[in-house]
Structure 1
Amino acid sequence: MSMLTTIARSAARASRLPAASLSLAARSIHTLPALDYPYDALEPHISGQIMELHHAKHHQAYVNGLNAAEDAYAKAVSPRERIRLQPALKFNGGGHINHTLFWRNLAPRADGGGELAAGPLRQKIEADFGSVDAFKKQMNGTTAGIQGSGWGWLGYNPDTKKLEIVTTANQDPLLTHVPIIGIDIWEHAFYLQYYNVKADYLAAIWSVINFKEAERRLAEATK
């Protein structure tokens, strides 16, 4: 499977669009997904200023870059040209996939953000990590340890049938596991509010994690 096909299929899952709509024949159709909440709805845990810049500027840039890269790929006439475009497809495609998942990964406190109710997700976390607190501690430690920019993930491993904590560099999408929860550790996700103190950002984000969405993803992964 080519990188372009992998990105297209992952983007289709992220945006709940049929894979065919992301084919080269229908290129340049990626758009910035709307948020389900206002930019300031996650305060004080994530500021409205960060959310607006992160969504309207950074994510929009990945959408623009992906559309441009796919258009160029479709027009490329040689393998050399297509190979040259692979990094742009991976970076911008991954940025679009990851952020589309990330926005759904968050929810205001008023809408249940931060609440992990009794149910299959809590049971699975406790079975695989010992406790919810132990899971959060391990997730934060692993994510904070990323050198440079990247993502920390709680992923479901279809081979081991376990929830596992993994990381990806830069905007690489998670392809080895089914993403359940993702945390953006790029500086644009937290620096305006938490400066260089990653630990404070990682501690705060659990107050607005959308565990209902995470449980839905787990249910789909374990069908």
Structure 2
Amino acid sequence: MGIGRRVSLPFAGRAEAGEMLAEMLVDAGLADPVVLALPRGGVAVAAPVAARLCAPLEVLVTRKIGHPLQPELGLGAVAEGGEPVFDAALLARLRMRPEDLTPVVERERRELARRVTAYRGDRTPPVLTGRDVVIVDDGLATGGTARAALRAVRKVRPRRLVLAVPVGSPQTVTALRDEADEVVILAAPPGFHAVGQWYRDFEQLTDEDVLRLLRRRTDGGSAV
């Protein structure tokens, strides 16, 4: 796990956090990297990262799997190209099984497919096999969507798989260490409750914001 130099929190916004993260990644020895952003918030962080690395920028769409009666309670997540990943310990405490969430999973898969179409259209996704892949989000709270994303990308056998985030819960960063070849993070402060507490500007992005950032992406030499 890589943790950067001491940073002053909170970040002004996602763009500033992305620029600082990019400075750390430029020394990581990445070869022919692809930057995958978890939308929506991760795209604003990933844009300056991709520009600094001269790498293609693409989205990797994920969806949280919430409790049927309390959607904000995340019980798992699913990423495009991957299978649902569940929080086994939480399911056990709630005396639930993955099968109990089948309707929720199906609903989230439909929304995932909608967003893939909205963000990518007929654009060909980048080839990830044998390349260095950097997955970027704006922060790590429970880590459910990041875990699902990492496992989905791992299936296609990248040369090196890096998770890069500006800030995260220390416990979650530790828990994800085995899912990536490297976790690069600027800060893992104690007293972490939510990603938004570490940004002065944490306005939610829209689909239009994501598309605007993707249109401005830097082409790193491979078609995306």
Larger RCO: Structure 1 or Structure 2 (Cα < 8 Å, ≥ 6 residues apart)?
2
User: TM-score normalised by the shorter chain: which range applies?
Assistant: under 0.3
TM-score (norm 1): 0.24
Q: In proportion to residue count, which structure has more helix?
A: 1
- The two structures have a TM-score, normalised by structure 2, of 0.24
Select the structure of larger CA radius of gyration. Answer: 1
